[in-house]
Amino acid sequence: MPRIKLQRFQDNATRPDIIEPGKPEYEQLGGRWRTDFFQEPHPLTLEVGCGKGEYTVGLAQRHPSRNFLGLDIKGERIWRGSTRAAELGLTNVGFVRMRAEALAAQFGAHELAEIWITFPDPRPRDRDIKRRLTSPRFLALYEQLLTPGGLLHLKTDNEGLFEYTLETLAARPGARIERFTRDLYAETGAEFTEAQAIQTNFEGKYRAVGVPIKYVQFRLT
Protein backbone atom coordinates (compact mmCIF):
# COMPACT_ATOMS: atom_id res chain seq x y z
CA MET A 1 0.00 0.00 0.00
CA PRO A 2 1.45 3.44 -0.91
CA ARG A 3 2.71 5.37 2.11
CA ILE A 4 0.43 8.36 1.52
CA LYS A 5 -2.68 6.16 1.39
CA LEU A 6 -1.64 4.40 4.59
CA GLN A 7 -1.14 7.76 6.29
CA ARG A 8 -4.61 8.87 5.25
CA PHE A 9 -6.14 5.71 6.64
CA GLN A 10 -4.33 6.41 9.90
CA ASP A 11 -5.69 9.97 9.84
CA ASN A 12 -9.22 8.65 9.39
CA ALA A 13 -8.85 6.50 12.50
CA THR A 14 -8.28 9.62 14.62
CA ARG A 15 -10.77 12.01 13.04
CA PRO A 16 -13.99 12.48 15.02
CA ASP A 17 -15.97 13.45 11.92
CA ILE A 18 -15.38 10.02 10.33
CA ILE A 19 -17.23 6.90 11.46
CA GLU A 20 -15.79 3.64 10.14
CA PRO A 21 -15.34 -0.02 11.09
CA GLY A 22 -13.13 -0.37 14.14
CA LYS A 23 -14.41 2.74 15.89
CA PRO A 24 -16.65 2.18 18.92
CA GLU A 25 -19.41 4.37 17.44
CA TYR A 26 -19.67 2.30 14.27
CA GLU A 27 -23.21 0.88 13.95
CA GLN A 28 -24.03 2.40 17.35
CA LEU A 29 -25.44 5.78 16.31
CA GLY A 30 -28.67 4.65 14.65
CA GLY A 31 -31.46 6.97 15.79
CA ARG A 32 -28.98 9.21 17.62
CA TRP A 33 -26.92 10.89 14.90
CA ARG A 34 -28.30 14.34 15.55
CA THR A 35 -27.98 14.21 19.32
CA ASP A 36 -24.79 12.18 19.82
CA PHE A 37 -22.71 12.86 16.70
CA PHE A 38 -23.71 16.40 15.70
CA GLN A 39 -25.15 17.41 19.08
CA GLU A 40 -27.62 19.55 17.18
CA PRO A 41 -31.27 18.62 16.48
CA HIS A 42 -31.15 19.89 12.90
CA PRO A 43 -32.59 17.83 10.01
CA LEU A 44 -30.18 15.18 8.73
CA THR A 45 -29.31 14.78 5.04
CA LEU A 46 -27.35 11.81 3.68
CA GLU A 47 -25.39 11.60 0.43
CA VAL A 48 -25.15 7.97 -0.70
CA GLY A 49 -21.89 7.30 -2.54
CA CYS A 50 -20.31 10.65 -1.71
CA GLY A 51 -16.92 9.97 -3.32
CA LYS A 52 -14.54 12.76 -2.34
CA GLY A 53 -17.29 14.52 -0.43
CA GLU A 54 -17.60 17.50 -2.75
CA TYR A 55 -21.38 17.48 -2.72
CA THR A 56 -21.74 16.74 0.99
CA VAL A 57 -19.38 19.57 1.88
CA GLY A 58 -21.07 21.89 -0.61
CA LEU A 59 -24.47 21.22 0.92
CA ALA A 60 -23.11 21.82 4.41
CA GLN A 61 -21.73 25.17 3.28
CA ARG A 62 -25.05 26.20 1.77
CA HIS A 63 -27.16 25.09 4.73
CA PRO A 64 -25.42 25.76 8.06
CA SER A 65 -28.63 25.03 10.00
CA ARG A 66 -28.79 21.42 8.75
CA ASN A 67 -26.65 18.33 9.36
CA PHE A 68 -25.00 16.40 6.51
CA LEU A 69 -23.39 12.97 6.21
CA GLY A 70 -21.49 11.54 3.26
CA LEU A 71 -21.37 7.77 2.86
CA ASP A 72 -18.76 5.90 0.83
CA ILE A 73 -16.82 2.66 1.07
CA LYS A 74 -13.48 4.20 0.04
CA GLY A 75 -11.47 5.52 2.97
CA GLU A 76 -9.18 7.71 0.88
CA ARG A 77 -12.17 9.46 -0.70
CA ILE A 78 -13.69 10.16 2.69
CA TRP A 79 -10.33 11.52 3.88
CA ARG A 80 -10.52 14.15 1.15
CA GLY A 81 -14.03 15.21 2.14
CA SER A 82 -13.09 15.37 5.81
CA THR A 83 -9.99 17.43 5.01
CA ARG A 84 -11.98 19.93 2.96
CA ALA A 85 -14.63 20.27 5.67
CA ALA A 86 -11.91 20.99 8.24
CA GLU A 87 -10.31 23.61 5.98
CA LEU A 88 -13.67 25.37 5.76
CA GLY A 89 -14.30 25.10 9.49
CA LEU A 90 -17.56 23.21 9.03
CA THR A 91 -19.06 21.46 12.04
CA ASN A 92 -22.33 20.30 10.45
CA VAL A 93 -20.80 17.60 8.24
CA GLY A 94 -19.47 14.09 8.81
CA PHE A 95 -18.60 10.93 6.89
CA VAL A 96 -19.40 7.22 7.22
CA ARG A 97 -17.30 4.46 5.60
CA MET A 98 -19.58 1.59 4.69
CA ARG A 99 -21.50 0.05 1.81
CA ALA A 100 -24.92 1.41 0.96
CA GLU A 101 -26.41 -2.06 1.28
CA ALA A 102 -25.84 -1.86 5.06
CA LEU A 103 -27.62 1.44 5.64
CA ALA A 104 -30.20 -0.08 7.97
CA ALA A 105 -27.43 -1.07 10.38
CA GLN A 106 -26.24 2.52 10.67
CA PHE A 107 -29.44 4.59 10.76
CA GLY A 108 -32.69 4.46 12.68
CA ALA A 109 -36.15 4.36 11.16
CA HIS A 110 -37.25 7.73 9.77
CA GLU A 111 -34.00 9.38 10.91
CA LEU A 112 -33.17 11.04 7.58
CA ALA A 113 -34.90 14.11 6.21
CA GLU A 114 -33.31 13.96 2.76
CA ILE A 115 -31.11 11.77 0.56
CA TRP A 116 -28.90 12.76 -2.36
CA ILE A 117 -27.58 10.23 -4.88
CA THR A 118 -24.98 11.95 -7.03
CA PHE A 119 -23.42 10.30 -10.07
CA PRO A 120 -23.60 6.69 -8.89
CA ASP A 121 -22.21 3.75 -10.81
CA PRO A 122 -24.97 3.10 -13.40
CA ARG A 123 -24.52 -0.69 -13.23
CA PRO A 124 -25.53 -1.14 -16.89
CA ARG A 125 -25.53 -4.95 -16.97
CA ASP A 126 -28.85 -6.65 -16.35
CA ARG A 127 -27.33 -8.92 -13.72
CA ASP A 128 -26.41 -5.81 -11.71
CA ILE A 129 -29.88 -4.24 -11.62
CA LYS A 130 -30.28 -4.97 -7.90
CA ARG A 131 -27.09 -3.03 -7.23
CA ARG A 132 -28.36 0.17 -8.83
CA LEU A 133 -28.90 2.75 -6.12
CA THR A 134 -32.40 3.49 -7.42
CA SER A 135 -33.53 -0.13 -7.73
CA PRO A 136 -36.65 -1.24 -5.81
CA ARG A 137 -34.39 -2.87 -3.23
CA PHE A 138 -32.71 0.42 -2.38
CA LEU A 139 -35.89 2.48 -2.63
CA ALA A 140 -37.46 0.25 0.02
CA LEU A 141 -34.42 0.84 2.23
CA TYR A 142 -34.56 4.61 1.76
CA GLU A 143 -38.26 4.65 2.58
CA GLN A 144 -37.54 2.92 5.87
CA LEU A 145 -34.93 5.51 6.84
CA LEU A 146 -36.61 8.70 5.61
CA THR A 147 -39.15 10.72 7.51
CA PRO A 148 -42.57 10.39 5.82
CA GLY A 149 -42.52 12.59 2.74
CA GLY A 150 -38.73 12.99 2.87
CA LEU A 151 -37.04 14.14 -0.33
CA LEU A 152 -34.67 12.19 -2.57
CA HIS A 153 -32.52 13.55 -5.39
CA LEU A 154 -30.66 11.84 -8.21
CA LYS A 155 -28.09 13.55 -10.41
CA THR A 156 -26.49 11.50 -13.18
CA ASP A 157 -24.83 11.80 -16.54
CA ASN A 158 -26.06 8.33 -17.52
CA GLU A 159 -29.19 8.25 -19.65
CA GLY A 160 -29.84 4.56 -19.07
CA LEU A 161 -29.82 4.89 -15.29
CA PHE A 162 -31.99 8.00 -15.46
CA GLU A 163 -34.67 6.36 -17.61
CA TYR A 164 -34.55 3.24 -15.44
CA THR A 165 -35.12 5.40 -12.36
CA LEU A 166 -38.12 7.18 -13.87
CA GLU A 167 -39.66 3.85 -14.88
CA THR A 168 -39.02 2.34 -11.45
CA LEU A 169 -40.63 5.29 -9.69
CA ALA A 170 -43.63 5.23 -12.03
CA ALA A 171 -44.22 1.58 -11.13
CA ARG A 172 -43.85 2.07 -7.37
CA PRO A 173 -47.08 2.68 -5.41
CA GLY A 174 -46.91 5.88 -3.40
CA ALA A 175 -43.86 7.29 -5.17
CA ARG A 176 -44.20 10.81 -6.51
CA ILE A 177 -41.83 12.61 -8.87
CA GLU A 178 -41.70 16.28 -7.91
CA ARG A 179 -39.64 17.44 -10.88
CA PHE A 180 -37.17 16.09 -13.40
CA THR A 181 -35.11 17.24 -16.35
CA ARG A 182 -32.86 15.61 -18.90
CA ASP A 183 -30.69 18.73 -19.11
CA LEU A 184 -30.34 20.33 -15.69
CA TYR A 185 -28.21 23.29 -16.69
CA ALA A 186 -30.57 24.28 -19.49
CA GLU A 187 -33.28 24.92 -16.88
CA THR A 188 -33.91 28.46 -15.68
CA GLY A 189 -36.66 27.87 -13.11
CA ALA A 190 -36.03 28.47 -9.41
CA GLU A 191 -37.13 24.92 -8.66
CA PHE A 192 -33.83 23.64 -10.09
CA THR A 193 -31.57 26.14 -8.32
CA GLU A 194 -30.55 23.82 -5.49
CA ALA A 195 -29.53 21.04 -7.88
CA GLN A 196 -27.56 23.50 -10.00
CA ALA A 197 -25.78 25.20 -7.11
CA ILE A 198 -23.11 22.55 -6.51
CA GLN A 199 -21.01 21.08 -9.30
CA THR A 200 -18.50 18.31 -8.63
CA ASN A 201 -15.26 17.92 -10.57
CA PHE A 202 -16.70 14.78 -12.16
CA GLU A 203 -19.82 16.68 -13.21
CA GLY A 204 -17.78 19.51 -14.69
CA LYS A 205 -15.82 17.11 -16.90
CA TYR A 206 -19.01 15.71 -18.40
CA ARG A 207 -20.46 19.16 -18.99
CA ALA A 208 -17.22 20.25 -20.67
CA VAL A 209 -17.67 17.61 -23.37
CA GLY A 210 -21.37 18.36 -23.84
CA VAL A 211 -22.95 15.55 -21.81
CA PRO A 212 -26.20 16.85 -20.28
CA ILE A 213 -26.76 16.26 -16.58
CA LYS A 214 -30.03 14.55 -15.67
CA TYR A 215 -31.86 15.26 -12.42
CA VAL A 216 -34.95 14.00 -10.65
CA GLN A 217 -36.41 14.94 -7.27
CA PHE A 218 -38.93 12.57 -5.75
CA ARG A 219 -40.67 11.26 -2.65
CA LEU A 220 -41.52 7.67 -1.77
CA THR A 221 -44.56 8.32 0.43
Catalytic residue, chosen from 36, 121, 128, 183, is 121
Bridging pattern class, strands 176-181 and 214-219: antiparallel
* 87 pLDDT higher than 80: yes
Note the pLDDT tens digit of each residue in 104-156: 999 999 999 999 999 999 999 989 999 999 999 999 999 999 999 999 999 99
Residue positions forming the annotated binding site for substrate: 157, 200-203
Q: Is 126 a catalytic residue?
A: no
Instruction: Please state the pTM of the whole predicted model.
Output: 0.96
Residue positions forming the annotated binding site: 47, 72, 121, 157, 200-203
Note the pLDDT tens digit of each residue in 30-73: 999 999 999 999 999 999 999 999 999 999 999 999 999 999 99
Query: Distances from the Cα of 42 to the Cαs of 30, 93, 128, 152, in angstroms?
Result: 16, 12, 36, 18
Note the pLDDT tens digit of each residue in 197-214: 999 988 999 999 999 999
